[in-house]
Amino acid sequence: NCRENQRCGMISADVTDWDQVSAAVAQVETEVGVPDLVINSAGVAHPGYFQDLEIEIFHWTTEVNYYGTIYVCKAVLPGMVARGSGQIVNIS
């Protein structure tokens, strides 16, 4: 729940796509300003035994779980640093 004088919201973007992530962050900053809090919670897993998984599965999970987190942090951090505050929560 949002308290009085607070704005809560969310925006959707493919975290494996830098252009989508940077556009989403730019949209948020235009509409409401630099976020006070960003929660990175995108993540994927693929069932199966390591030796049976195709190499493409490892590329996909790395793109989402690692690069997705990096892209979001990289996009929001400049605004937070310029303002002098902000929090990023990474859920793994």
Q: Where are the domains of the chain?
A: 18-90
Q: Which of 41, 31, 42 is nearest to 7 (CA)?
A: 31
Q: Which of 20, 22, 64 is nearest to 41 (CA)?
A: 64
- Both tokens of 58, joined, read 């490892």
pTM: 0.86
- Is the model's pLDDT at 4 over the cut of 90? no
What's the count of helices (H) and strands (E) in the chain, helices before strands? 3, 2
SS3 70: helix
SS3 71: helix
Residue 74 binned pLDDT confidence (cut-offs 50, 70, 90) = very high
Cα(89)–Cα(64) distance, integer angstroms: 16
Fold classification of 18-90 is Rossmann fold (3.40.50)
The pLDDT score that the predictor gives to residue 40 is: 92
